[in-house]
Amino acid sequence: MAFTADEFEFLKEKTLLFLIVLDDKGNICRINKRCEILFSLPKDKIIEESIYTFLLDEDESEFKETVSQLSKNNKQLSKTFGFATLISDAILYVKFDLVYHNNKIYASGIDVTQENEEHNFLKTLSKLTKTGTWHYEPTHDRVYFSDECYHLHDLEPGTSLSMTEALFYYPEASRARIKDYWDNLLNHGVAYDYIDQIITKKGVRKWIHVIGEAIKHNNKVIFVNGSFSDITDQQNYIEQLQYNEETKKLALKGIRSGLFDHLIETNMVFYSLDFRKMLGLPLKEDFVPEKIFRKMIHPDDLDKAIERHHQNLKKVGYHYFNYYRLKHLDGGYRHYEVYGYRKKNEKGETIRMIGNLIDIHQKKLNERTIAENQSRLLAMVNNGFAYTVLLNTSGEILMADEDSLKIIKRDFNVDPTIEPTLFIEVMPLNFKTTFFHEFNEALKGQTVTKEIERITHKGSIQWLESKYTPIKGQENNINSVLVSFHDITEQKLAELAIKQAHLKEQELSSLKSNILSNFSHEIRTPLNGIITISNLLLLEEENPRDRKKLAAYLNESKERLLATINNLSHYSEIETIQKNLTYVETDINYTVETSFREYRHFANSKNLEYILELDESCPSAIIDVDIFHTAINNIIHNAIKYTTKGKVAVNVKAKKRSIRISIKDSGIGIGKDNLKKIFDPFIQESIGLSRKYEGTGIGLSLSKRYIEILGGKIKVISKLERGTKFIITIPKKI
């Protein structure tokens, strides 16, 4: 049954397809509402425009060729074309089915942007990994290569090949074996996976890794899929290793001092000459029974050493490690460590071990001295400052007082006395912003003092005076930094009480101070981070993992500084912006969804439930897209920023003459006193010395001004610790 006129009219306006009617010159005659997203213009601005106005330059000639083909044979063609969208400043790829009828072209298309991006990604990945795909049709004896396969064989893309022709790219000595693989695949469906050489069209020898797999129907191979990978570099590297194996063996013969070779089955051990001299073993005997060596081990160490020995022989892998005290020529005992490599038989049993014995006696004495000194130092530390932490030059914790260790274990589930721990990873958030600066100054030899405010795990405020003191070694070089924190909460509370007495009479001055302090903090803090981290990356930091972390911190500081400057710029230019607005009829679902997608990663990084609910009627309004986009972005960003767990939900609902957008979170909420002034510029829920979250306080003020410029209203509903809901209402027409 055919569609009625009403049914068809309803369907074409509600479908997600792009429906376009063109004349034979490419001028647009009719479109459905969905196309307004594609062309970023209202319908009346699109009709009679040429399709070539919106197509990407690289697609214009292909579109003209398609129109020419349609007009000649009246067939249906499927093609994908790219369009530049003004709203999101991005490229939208649409796959069209095109039909020619009565001198007009009828096109219906679907958004394939994501699929196109994935296709390009696979092509790029294929080039990077030097891997191409191929398939074979037995019926026509034709091999079809991907572009990378042609490139691997130095052939022009599209070159026609039979399997016999493809076989001649292999060296003559390999062809019979390759043909056996091929016959087994076609006749019995046996997949193959081999490595061999080919000689390309240009005469270049390459190593390739080939995979082939059959597809059957009624137990008959009807199709073969496979891949080629260029592994020339890897194979050359393996051959070089094999070439150097003899050199390595000769080099091992030169390692004489401390070298041993233990034959497990006979329990005979070969010791190098220097080894025997060192331990007083018979010089005329290269091989010594293991039981003689065991008699030299300290009686207190013998049982544990034998137990570790047997565990080493049974464990997975090939390496061996042991330690014990051995009797020396002077009659005393010295500490040694044993490092070895085990050879195994087919059953996985260790049959031979080659290794080295290392004298670590002085190291043990030094460790004992250090342990005694640490014990004395900890006794002093635990009875001194409130918190004390000793760091090495990389910022790792060497030791800390008992109270600091308790806090770190409780809040971060890490024990710095057991595993290496960077101090910056276990310090309170508000310590981190200036840590690198103070720590870097201490490494330069400067003693730095700073006051810091923190929130304790009980929720109370604590003020600390931090002191970074450089510690110098025997060669007068700085080998560590002592970071101490002294509790000055009572002193600070007294100072704050005095300041609060003058708050009312200095309200105007305080507001000015807050503005300057806020922007000083938001500009200086990331700038300090950028300078300090850059210095560490350029001059000092060599550990790849730490460099990666520093690079991430550097990017974070950059983005924060840029956001601050952008917000300040927008706020100062509101009057100019208002005079230069561009109003267009816009799909509100699409615009809100664009903002929602921009912050998906931010929400996911905090493990939040992130929800978007759009209106099924696809409401539109006449707005300036840029300032509307900025207003929505600020509110969504704030919702995620102030929510540590739970969810953030964005909802679009159309009314008769207006559209309602709500952003609801389960975050920290806003206090009753601050709720009245939340849209005032340079104001946050937490500000000044007690601020918990970074930011300029401009975002919400900007959003309110922008929504009002568009003729809308913004309302906020919130309770402390119960979340916040912003409700934006904009008219469909101004």
Higher local confidence (pLDDT), 667 or 11: 667
Residues 514-525: tens digit of each pLDDT: 444 444 445 656
Give every CB contact of residue 391 below 8 A, 6+ residues apart in sequence. 397, 398, 423, 439, 480, 481, 482, 483
Cβ atoms of 634 and 642 within 8 Å: the answer is no
Cβ atoms of 603 and 648 within 8 Å: the answer is yes
Q: Which residues of 103-112 are buried (b: 16+ CB within 10 A; e: fewer)?
A: eebbbbbebb
What integer pLDDT is reported at residue 133 of this predicted model?
79
Which strand (E) or helix (H) includes residue 673? Answer: helix 672-675
Kindly tell me if the per-residue pLDDT of 643 is higher than 90.
yes
By mean pLDDT, which of 233-242, 414-423, 480-489 is the weakest? 233-242
Cβ atoms of 153 and 165 within 8 Å: the answer is no
Residues 394-414: tens digit of each pLDDT: 889 888 888 788 888 888 888
What integer pLDDT is reported at residue 256 of this predicted model?
37
Count CA atoms closer than 13 A to 77's CA, side-chain side.
Answer: 20
Per-residue confidence at 147, pLDDT binned at 50, 70, 90? confident
Note the residue count of the chain.
734
Beta pairing class for 333-344 and 319-327: antiparallel
Residues 179-188: tens digit of each pLDDT: 888 888 888 8
Question: What is the reported pTM?
Answer: 0.30
Q: Of 6-10, 134-138, 371-375, 538-542, which has the strongest mean pLDDT?
A: 134-138
The sheet with strand 478-487 has its strands ordered as: 397-400, 387-392, 478-487, 461-472, 448-455
Cα separation, 494 vs 492, whole angstroms: 5
